Structure 1
């Protein structure tokens, strides 16, 4: 018995670009994700393609991430990061001979060489790489809301949600050269009526959390193993909890295996300070530099108790874990085929950065899935995409779905609670002003006014990023998240004051346009009534 696996990776980072500083800690989020996830993914695609191994997966690349992937300033700094790592790896290779860490440094040498090749192959624009594999048919690309805004909290002012979706769709088309068929709703945040906005933007399907379908008004005939249409005829594909938990859970899933690499022990903290200092930021603060020589070892959180990492051990575990993953999917298929009148579809949905960044072996795990599925036909696995499934099975059950997210407790608690609830009043006040001014000036011919309003739209969108509320809730880099929220709102208010006084500070406007260099073709009219 066989079935479909729809493997979906959500690739997202908030827009972090600080040309006013030579080093900026939060920019490291982007460099680390490129080096450990996005570029290794492109290398993986290349290996599978060259070996004629069929593969199919879906990636949602958010507009903020896509903008950074093709930004000359950020990609230039990424190249310098690669050169510094190559230098450090060269030193480490000499120092680690005849130690348990030598195989790891050989692994890192191969890794950094491969990343440099990817960067140069795609002319310092990683979006070109993903577009290439879309064109060859192995990769489905979909969009997301413009700045990963949490749409359920915008339903009181639908224009705010409309702008997030419209700008997300337009930005995607400008980057990749075609209109997206699908969308990943930020945080899988769904509310009733959002599908009307999606339909207006020619979106055929979106991804939702398990209970978006399971708690629909009508009992789902196939559970989450087939899509369900909303009344607007936009299809929802919901996450399969079983396959997802096996992979993402650090405690119950594969990433927590004791032979896999320990994320939190890094030579940026282990090595002699004078030796490692040239590879730190200018402030000299110790930080992760990316080279880690130890394995998880045990359940203990004591980093001093960790034992050396052996790439060969990890490779063997990957083979075992992939076989287990596919065997479990085979068992799922056997049961589902007994109760369904069509092939079941398992939507295995993950944050893309889980693979490679948080779970070092994750990229190899994905690659091995495709290789084993190809070489061992009895698993009965066929990889597909939501778009292809709808072409094959256009008739599906319809119902009104349940408001939902994939955050803690399944709704909006993460993004609105004691630590972050303060942001919503000023965000709504700015949204009301944006709609008011966009409506007032929607027919203006004044280029200066249009330029001012376009930048106001950018600042509002950037302030709405769900990342800032999430960071405040989780307690990581809270000061930065608060600063970014207030900064964009302050810039919005300043631009609004210029507009109302009809007195534009050209230097200020040029400065914020340069610093918040995103959505070059945005039109403020997306907010006009």
Structure 2
């Protein structure tokens, strides 16, 4: 077994956490279904091409897909609605912006906008070629799951509420993807020691945690063994920040500027203000992949396990060149002899050390506490979520499926995140209030004649509410 500070091979695990809150049927633009369509076009479909291109079709990337995202990828009508978005709406929006640029005398920007439209048309073609079934397309690559709707688990009010989220998510994963090795992505990397027995009871064997401010630099490179059983795998902030830090790779001048937007929210400029040049960006991708692999090799010179955990949507959706960078990293790592392994497999080769009995509650939010999800700006959301959970748990078997689904939708971490970060705050608050009202109506109806929340959580683990 290798360990930091001792000679021996180190390994890199690239963990991609793939998630979208439940937007299907809840608005269109800018937060609503178009958020899902953008991620499909710019992140999920390009990523699938990279994963499928791995030798033997088995990529070394560790991929999780949240059950709530898979719910939406299986929703009725998704193929038709995505096709209309990619072929019709995006054609019209790009042409509107191109015409505006031409009227302003900027023919170069207009040409880039028309060129960029091709990415959406290719995405529509790739989606159709896969039969509109991305769950099946991702199946060979998905090894980890998550809680049903991405709640901050340490903020839930009851063991029964935690079980409902865990067991519903795990049941959904098994129904869609078959076998499961016990790897579970903790939403927002939010961990509290009191969760460990519940995780173990649910069959969870490993989770990623953010302990950057708790452990020393070398201690980030080895898994921890808890008294209750699950292994805690520290994410390696020193490596992650090469990508996600304020001055990380996406900030390079040649890359597409994700903040400067046209009237229709397109992005024809580079970070340095020039009109975007794909060839120039491709050169930067190769340079950054080489730099990343070189730095990780240095990081692992003494052995250990470096976990580079990223939101999948960062690649492509937020960092336009991110999927290309990932492909280049996989290629460069093979050339340079840097081992990349799926996390479940890597954990069999790295002996865990005992976790401290007094680990604090941590997340990968800013700061690394629960503040993003329970601070003063969002305290009302946190209390409303807990109150709703207590009402459902008190109802027990009398709570109908709609009440459970409204609770699960309301518990998403995304609503508080959007408010704390000032991202579409009215939409986020409307979603919380709407699901709270739906839950109350469902409980008042006593489970009679209730409709579902469209396609959310078809694999409800109702028995979780009845366990002692």
What's the TM-score once normalised by structure 1's chain length? Answer: 0.79
| Alignment correspondent of 2:432 | 485
| Alignment correspondent of 1:162 | 163
Q: Is the 8 A contact 1:12 1:64 kept in 2?
A: yes
| Alignment correspondent of 1:352 | 312
Q: CA deviation at 1:399?
A: 3.8
Matches within 5 A, 1:220-239: 223-239=219-235
SS at match of 1:260: coil
* Unmatched segments (≥5 aa) in structure 1: 135-139, 270-286, 298-305, 338-342, 442-448
CA RMSD of aligned residues (A): 2.9
| Alignment correspondent of 2:61 | 57
Matches within 5 A, 1:54-453: 55-84=59-88, 87-88=91-92, 100=108, 104=112, 108=116, 111-132=119-140, 134=141, 140-154=142-156, 156-211=157-212, 214=215, 223-249=219-245, 251-267=246-262, 269=263, 287-288=264-265, 290=266, 292-297=267-272, 306-334=273-301, 337=302, 343-375=303-335, 377=336, 380-393=337-350, 396-400=353-357, 401-438=359-396, 441=397, 453=400
Is 1:18 aligned to residue 25 of structure 2?
A: yes
**How big is each residue's C-alpha offset from its partner over 1:271-291, in whole Å with a ceiling of 9 and x where there is no partner?**
xxxxxxxxxxxxxxxx32x4x
Q: Is the 8 A contact 1:160 1:527 kept in 2?
A: yes
Is 1:29 aligned to residue 4 of structure 2?
A: no
Q: RCO higher in 1 or 2 (8 Å CA, sep ≥ 6)?
A: 2
Q: CA deviation at 1:102?
A: 8.2
Q: CA deviation at 1:42?
A: 0.7
Q: CA deviation at 1:235?
A: 0.6
Q: Is the 8 A contact 2:112 2:275 kept in 1?
A: no
Q: State the alpha-carbon separation in 2 of the partners of residues 47 and 88 from structure 1.
A: 33
Q: State the alpha-carbon separation in 1 of the partners of residues 258 and 355 from structure 2.
A: 44
Deviates more, 1:395-404 or 1:234-243: 395-404
Q: State the alpha-carbon separation in 1 of the partners of residues 13 and 214 from structure 2.
A: 17
Q: Is the 8 A contact 2:143 2:180 kept in 1?
A: no
**Cα distance 1:5–1:102, how it changes in 2: closer, same or farther (>3 A)?**
farther
Q: State the alpha-carbon separation in 2 of the partners of residues 236 and 58 from structure 1.
A: 16
Match of 1:525 among 460, 463, 466: 463
Q: Is the 8 A contact 2:223 2:350 kept in 1?
A: no
| Alignment correspondent of 2:11 | 4
Q: State the alpha-carbon separation in 1 of the partners of residues 45 and 154 from structure 2.
A: 33
Q: CA deviation at 1:382?
A: 0.3
| Alignment correspondent of 1:445 | none
What's the TM-score once normalised by structure 2's chain length? Answer: 0.89
